């Protein structure tokens, strides 16, 4: 699995409609009443990457295997969810399971679709969700802090370090600000502690979907501009899209989809934008393995070295790693094949310290 994103938002902002569009199916129920989604719908979709198919065509591969992304359609949140209002506890527990948060913000008027807060205001909606995540994190931190303070009487280096982490985290949360906006202040070790020991919610990376009406495509509207300004505070990506239009694409043939998108001034479906921004948000890249049997895409973290990338293919490859034959897609795309690239001396031999780049086509030499 590449990574997982939880689609969150207040009730009736278009979460399930967006989820249906992403999956190109009607798997997630969508209806005009709060808490339509109770159990999270989970779907796996292919990461669209034309490079994969271009490579497979050149290498005449019998099989093509893309990489995938998992989306969770999580129940709508309301004020005081951290205190158990609505489906709050379940909502917050589900968020713990995902790598990143996709927050859908309603940026359209529709008298036929009720808004749980009474009127459209995407910034207020974003702040409600942030405050609930912060409140839950505070509860977690204070509970742990109470235990650690009791242990702090012992002369123990690990206890002292944990106490320092907790105090730094609490100082941010006490200001009612999400942890993800204060990574420099917290430092790398405290961030890792917040993520992997406490599983805090407001540390998770976030992106925003400004869900506009069809008439406001492709640029968006006044509300989506406010969302962009709000997101700039933490350099969070924003995708302006119309979930209803995306759902209307379900079942259409490729050419029909392109024509409908073009009619609204769009060049591609919203899924493609979400995937790209999701990759950027989580620092992910794609490398490829290619041959006559199979061309396959693999997702790794940016900064991954060649042996660890080999380990994604098979653990034996990492254990017995010798070297990697590498050519980047940008060098390869205008060549007839990998064989020709080798013939021209364009395929490099890289060792254990090589940092894999997005678009690398790799063959691993190993011995076990």
E strand or H helix that includes residue 239:
strand 238-241
Query: CA–CA distance from 259 to each of 22, 25, 174, 216, 265 (Å)?
Result: 19, 20, 51, 18, 10
Q: Is 311 annotated as a binding residue?
A: no
CB 287 within 8 A of CB 66: no
Q: Is 333 annotated as a binding residue?
A: no
122-151 and 157-173 helices, crossing angle to 10°: 150
Q: Is 17 annotated as a binding residue?
A: yes
Q: Is 12 annotated as a binding residue?
A: yes
Overall residue count recorded for the chain in this entry = 368
CB 357 within 8 A of CB 300: no
Contacts of 144 (CB under 8 A, 6+ apart): 166, 198
Residue 113 exposure: Cα atoms within 13 Å on the Cβ side: 17
Q: Is 114 annotated as a binding residue?
A: no
Q: Which residue has the tokens 């933490």?
A: 234
CB 186 within 8 A of CB 172: yes
Q: Identify the sign of the CA torsion 241, 245, 251, 256.
A: negative
Q: Is 13 annotated as a binding residue?
A: yes
Cis peptide before 279 (omega within 30 of 0): no
- Residue ranges of the annotated binding site for ATP are 12-17
Annotated binding-site ranges: 12-17
């Amino acid at each position: 699995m590449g990574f997982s994103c939880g689609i969150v938002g207040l009730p009736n902002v278009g979460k399930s409609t967006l989820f249906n569009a992403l999956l190109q199916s009607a798997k997630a129920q969508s209806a005009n009443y709060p808490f339509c989604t109770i159990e999270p719908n989970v779907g796996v979709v292919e990461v669209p990457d034309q490079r994969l198919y271009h490579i497979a065509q050149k290498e005449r591969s019998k099989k093509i295997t893309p990489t995938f992304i998992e989306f969770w359609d999580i129940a709508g949140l309301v004020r005081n969810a951290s205190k158990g209002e609505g489906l709050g506890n379940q909502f917050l527990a589900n968020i713990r399971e995902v790598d990143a948060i996709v927050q859908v913000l309603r940026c359209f008027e529709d008298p036929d679709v009720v808004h749980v807060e009474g009127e459209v205001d995407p910034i207020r909606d974003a702040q409600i969700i942030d405050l609930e995540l912060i409140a839950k994190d505070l509860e977690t931190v204070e509970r742990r802090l109470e235990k650690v303070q009791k242990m702090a009487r012992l002369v123990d280096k690990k206890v002292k370090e944990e106490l320092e982490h907790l105090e730094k985290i609490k100082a941010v949360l006490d200001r009612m600000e999400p942890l993800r906006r204060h990574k420099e202040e917290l430092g790398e070790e405290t961030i890792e502690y917040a993520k992997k020991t406490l599983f805090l919610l407001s540390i998770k990376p976030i992106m925003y979907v400004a869900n506009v009406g069809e008439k406001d495509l492709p640029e968006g509207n006044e509300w989506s501009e406010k969302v962009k300004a709000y997101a700039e505070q933490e350099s969070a990506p924003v995708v302006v899209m119309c979930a209803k239009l995306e759902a209307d694409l379900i079942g259409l043939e490729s050419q029909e989809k392109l024509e409908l998108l073009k009619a609204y001034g769009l060049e591609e479906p919203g899924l493609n934008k979400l995937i790209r921004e999701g990759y950027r948000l989580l620092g992910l890249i794609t490398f490829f393995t290619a041959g006559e049997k199979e061309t396959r895409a693999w997702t790794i973290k940016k900064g991954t070295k060649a042996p660890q990338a080999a380990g994604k293919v098979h653990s034996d490859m990492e254990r017995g790693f010798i070297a990697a034959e590498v050519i980047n897609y940008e060098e390869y795309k205008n060549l007839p094949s990998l064989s020709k690239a080798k013939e021209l001396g364009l395929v490099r031999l890289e060792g254990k310290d090589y940092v894999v780049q997005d678009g690398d086509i790799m063959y691993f030499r190993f011995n076990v």
